Amino acid sequence: MQKNYKILTLILAILMLHSCGTYRINKTAAFIKLTDLQTLSGTYIGKSEASSKNKNISYLLKNFNIDSEKADFVNLIFEEPNIVKLNYLVDSKEGTIQRELLLKGERKERFIEIYFSKQQSFVPLLYSKVNIKRIRIGQDKDGDLLIMDFYDYSGNFLFFGAGSDFEKACHYTKFENQIGLFPIFKNGKWGFVNGEKQEIISAKYDFAYAFADNAAKVKLNNKWGLIDSSGREIAPIVYEVLTSDYIFQKQPIYLVEKNNKKGILDIQGNEIIPTVYDSIDRLYSPEFRLKLGDKFGLATKEKIIIPAIYDEVEYFGNSPYVVAKKNENIYLVDKEGFEYKTEVAPLKDVLFKSQTHYYKPILTSKRKINLDEQFSR
């Protein structure tokens, strides 16, 4: 009886550890011994590209639970035994402003640990709820800043459980290790200097972001554009909004807005999607949906496939055609922008010939859609 009691106690203990979120393998081997916390102080590049050390693109401010702002460079000041101070410059309607944040953590031998949330509640075998967001900050063997970013949002009720957790290593290099040109704030204006701190592009902009894929976003008179490393405008400074969007972490596209109309630029500054649309959505799908007035079309990050002339547009998926409706009529449109009238597909074709739609194209009705049709309604 006593043996059975011990086994039951062990099982309960294991279940408690799992249910309350305290049993987890923490990855600390990449940290080196930290003899002086102040050695971590410095100005760091705020974005870390995907590499052998960084499995994904990471952003330093996001590690510190700051999701609403972006900064190319973040100044970190560490003070023993447990203080971390952040300050960085951001763009605002009032111009360039400095943000500051002070955090206290717990000093360990190889890192400082900071919790943003630490909630655990449990009733063994019955209920658990875990809400943990934590970072550990130290140094890797290459001398770079290492932040282990961990969260655990999970729980269970009886045998039913749900949630997610991860621990991600984020490595950041110091400002002085930046290669190429980087933005600098001087006398209230932004310009660009090289590694020797020589001014290459004069400080004349209201705000500027670092170069990425040979282009930098700059702001002048409340408008945004793109410049190259010589300072030449590759996209005119005429947009009220210009944001980069990385599709599956490849080269970016730029979402722009002008006079309340939306479009898309490529990395050369070309308007691949003209700035005429009321909305562009589903950016993480192979095709974007375009809306102009009450009409819809489709585009990719290279070109417009279907102008916004239809009342409804579905998505290609695995089909060579997309179903589009206009004036109560149903059409099929292919990926080259040709439209076909349709007829109902026989049920046997749908079932036995992998017919994607309940319609099939009338091939003799094939016509090329003209982009100008979306403006001639």
- Report the range out of 91-95, 123-127, 149-153, 203-207 with the highest average pLDDT: 203-207
Q: pLDDT digits over 17-68, tens only?
A: 444 444 455 678 899 999 999 999 999 999 887 777 877 789 999 999 999 8
Looking at residue 319, its pLDDT comes to 82
Looking at residue 17, its pLDDT comes to 47
Per the prediction, the chain carries an average pLDDT of: 85
Considering only 30-44, 84-98, 345-359, which range has the smallest mean pLDDT? Answer: 345-359
Q: Residue 123's pLDDT band (boundaries 50, 70, 90)?
A: confident
Other beta carbons within 10 angstroms of residue 371's beta carbon come to 14
How far from the centroid of its chain's Cα atoms is residue 242's Cα? 15
Domain ranges of the chain: 2-176, 287-377
Q: Residue 247's pLDDT band (boundaries 50, 70, 90)?
A: low
Give the span between the Cα atoms of 158 and 190, in whole angstroms: 58
Specify the 3-state DSSP secondary structure of 344. Answer: strand
Residue 7 has pLDDT above 60, yes or no: no
Residue 254 has pLDDT above 70, yes or no: yes
Residue type for position 210:
A
